[in-house]
Chains A and B, each alone.
Chain A
Amino acid sequence: MSMLSIARIDLERLFVRPFAWILAALTLAVLAWFFLLDLNAFLAAQPRLATQAGNLGYTDLVAAPHLLAFTQLSLLLAPLLTMHALAGERRTHTLPLLFAAGLSPARIVLGKFLAVLAYLGLLLALVALMPAWLAHATSPDWGQYAAALLGCALCIAALTAIGIAASAFASHPALAATAALLVALALTMLDAGARLGDIDTGWLDYLSLPAHLTPFMHGLVRSVDVIYFLLIIAVSLALASRRLAADKVRG
């Protein structure tokens, strides 16, 4: 219950600031523009695509890339939204308020994670509606689209968890955002060179974020990919909890 209370309080605090509204408006505007560009390109290429084998359709060329674009944007959104989660509480001296209420570090961390996740989840829902609105005019592959949506949701949750962990370790929100962005970029770029050179990435594949996100975009839900994202979430939140508990022990 107290975990949900923290989530509700943080959501309330997020929505009373213009920052959250501006961020949402900009994100939706940018993605709507990308969507229209992708759709235009798809319509232009349709006669050519119809003659080709492989049968790439609306879901492959418009809907799934649209979700992927939001996930890529979340590399920036998640650090911006999570930077104040714990580093901000330290700066405003409000952590004692949470500890004095008898809340455990794990509950505090989970509550804050849920708040940002709820905000990004809402944005993801709005973003996902854009390609779905055209369902009457085309025939999307709903299975593939659902898999892509699941992959995006897991990836966004992982980026949020990384942001919360960075916020737990940093003394200043700006440092937290930078650290979260760097970690997320490192996970994204880990195998970039190998991919460009078409070299077998081997074990780097296990760590690389795109390697686990791409199968979802093709409609493939593999347990190894789901576990990868769940592991990132669990490790990040556990680290954040430990750091917060250390605040109580170390002062």
Chain B
Amino acid sequence: MAPAPPLLQLDHVSRRLAGRQVVADVTFRVARGEVLGLLGVNGAGKSTTLAMIAGVLAPDGGTVMLEGRDLHETPAPAGRRIGYLPENVPLWPELTVREYLDACGRLRGMARAARRRAIDRELLRLDLSGMVNRLSGQLSLGQKRRLGLAQALLHDPELLVLDEPGNGLDPVQTAQLRELIRTLSDSRATIISTHVLSEVEAMCDRVVILHEGRVRFDAPLASDSGALDRAFLAIASGKTGVAA
């Protein structure tokens, strides 16, 4: 019997932006239950790669496959299976927290009762219950980040794509986020982009290091955390090529 395809597979994905090759020939796969850390310095191509996985940007070359289907050819069904938190939290500042989550649920085609249940669940899970009637534009940076995470989780996606989820969170919230992502990863695949090594070490099973738009390292997280530090620093400083 043929093995089941990975939940997400990127094959030779490339993307130019403003005349610059931002992502070049990126190939990796993510299985269900796996937390993948996308590591790289600023400008390495992490956010562009995640935007292509989320269906926000179309790749110039290569394919993004969600369970064997080209994501950009079937965007609507894929949209219901992916939860995406971009680097800039997408908020409608004039809506309250509950109104905003309700709108996000509607966009994902959720029925009214399911929306209500999911909103209550995420408000509780992300410690936002006390601010349901506050305008989302008036929240602090950390609260906005949690609200962004709530919208990404609302429709219970199979693939969670988080771009720098730890930005703006205090140490307590960062610890809670790590715990949350660990809990969530049991039933879904998660991709987290970051340039903070400790976040990868705390949350991820596997790490892909991007540098100048290319995959320079793709391996499970070793028990020796010093090895990842050394590999990342060597790649970031341009002292090494492709590793695996």
Given A12-B95, A16-B94, A96-B56, 9 further pairs, Cβ under 8 A: A1-B109, A12-B99, A92-B93, A97-B151, A98-B107, A102-B78, A103-B76, A104-B76, A248-B58
Question: Separation in Å of the B20 CB from the closest CB of chain A?
Answer: 11
CB of A97 within 8 A of CB of B107, answer yes
The B24-78 residues at the A interface (CB cut-off 8 A) are: 48, 51, 54-58, 75-78
Q: A5-B107, A8-B106, A104-B75 are in contact. Are A96 and B99 (CB under 8 A)?
A: no
Per the bound structure, the CA–CA distance linking A102 and B74 in Å amounts to 8
Q: A102-B76, A251-B17 are in contact. Are A97 and B109 (CB under 8 A)?
A: no
Per the bound structure, the CA–CA distance linking A13 and B96 in Å amounts to 10
CB of A13 within 8 A of CB of B92, answer yes
Per the bound structure, the CA–CA distance linking A110 and B86 in Å amounts to 25
Is A46 in contact with chain B by the CB < 8 A criterion?
no
Please give me the residue from chain B that is nearest to A15 by CB atom. B94
Please give me the residue from chain B that is nearest to A104 by CB atom. B75
Please give me the residue from chain B that is nearest to A16 by CB atom. B94
Q: Render A65-94 as a binary contact track against B, CB cut-off 8 A, 1 for contact.
A: 000000000000000000000000000111
Which residues of chain A are within 8 angstroms of B82 by Cβ–Cβ distance? 100
Per the bound structure, the CA–CA distance linking A249 and B107 in Å amounts to 22
Interface residue range, chain A = 20 to 34
Which residues of chain A are within 8 angstroms of B58 by Cβ–Cβ distance? 248-249
Query: Could you give 6 example pairs across A and B, Cβ below 8 Å?
Result: A16-B94, A93-B89, A96-B54, A100-B84, A104-B75, A251-B15
Is A6 in contact with chain B by the CB < 8 A criterion?
yes
Interface residues of A (CB under 8 A from B): 1-2, 5-6, 8-9, 12-13, 16-17, 92-104, 248-249, 251
Q: A6-B107, A251-B15 are in contact. Are A100 and B54 (CB under 8 A)?
A: yes
Is B116 in contact with chain A by the CB < 8 A criterion?
no
Question: Separation in Å of the A77 CB from the closest CB of chain B?
Answer: 19
Which residues of chain B are within 8 angstroms of A92 by Cβ–Cβ distance? 90-93
Q: Is the interface of A mostly helix, strand, loop or mixed?
A: helix
Q: A9-B106, A13-B95, A101-B108 are in contact. Are A96 and B79 (CB under 8 A)?
A: no
Is B206 in contact with chain A by the CB < 8 A criterion?
no
Is B178 in contact with chain A by the CB < 8 A criterion?
no
Which residues of chain A are within 8 angstroms of B93 by Cβ–Cβ distance? 92
Is B12 in contact with chain A by the CB < 8 A criterion?
no
CB of A96 within 8 A of CB of B107, answer no
Question: Separation in Å of the A164 CB from the closest CB of chain B?
Answer: 18
Given A9, A96, A249, which contacts B90 in the complex, CB threshold below 8 Å? A96
Interface residues of B (CB under 8 A from A): 15, 17-18, 48, 51, 54-58, 75-80, 82, 84, 86, 88-95, 99, 103-104, 106-109, 151
Per the bound structure, the CA–CA distance linking A17 and B88 in Å amounts to 23
Given A6, A94, A95, A102, which contacts B77 in the complex, CB threshold below 8 Å? A102
CB of B55 within 8 A of CB of A100, answer yes
Per the bound structure, the CA–CA distance linking A93 and B15 in Å amounts to 20
Which residues of chain A are within 8 angstroms of B108 by Cβ–Cβ distance? 101
Given B51, B75, B90, which contacts A97 in the complex, CB threshold below 8 Å? B90
CB of B104 within 8 A of CB of A103, answer no
Please give me the residue from chain A that is nearest to B89 by CB atom. A93
Question: Separation in Å of the A35 CB from the closest CB of chain B?
Answer: 32
CB of A96 within 8 A of CB of B109, answer no
Given B55, B88, B104, B151, which contacts A99 in the complex, CB threshold below 8 Å? B55
Which residues of chain B are within 8 angstroms of A17 by Cβ–Cβ distance? 94
Q: Which 10 A-B pairs have the closest CB atoms?
A: A102-B79, A102-B76, A93-B88, A97-B90, A100-B84, A102-B75, A94-B90, A101-B107, A99-B56, A96-B56
Question: Separation in Å of the B56 CB from the closest CB of chain A?
Answer: 4
Q: A9-B107, A100-B84, A101-B107 are in contact. Are A248 and B56 (CB under 8 A)?
A: yes
Per the bound structure, the CA–CA distance linking A92 and B86 in Å amounts to 12
Per the bound structure, the CA–CA distance linking A132 and B58 in Å amounts to 52
Which residues of chain B are within 8 angstroms of A98 by Cβ–Cβ distance? 107
CB of A103 within 8 A of CB of B90, answer no
Please give me the residue from chain B that is nearest to A102 by CB atom. B79
Per the bound structure, the CA–CA distance linking A2 and B107 in Å amounts to 6
Most central of B18, B51, B80 by chain A CB within 10 Å:
B51
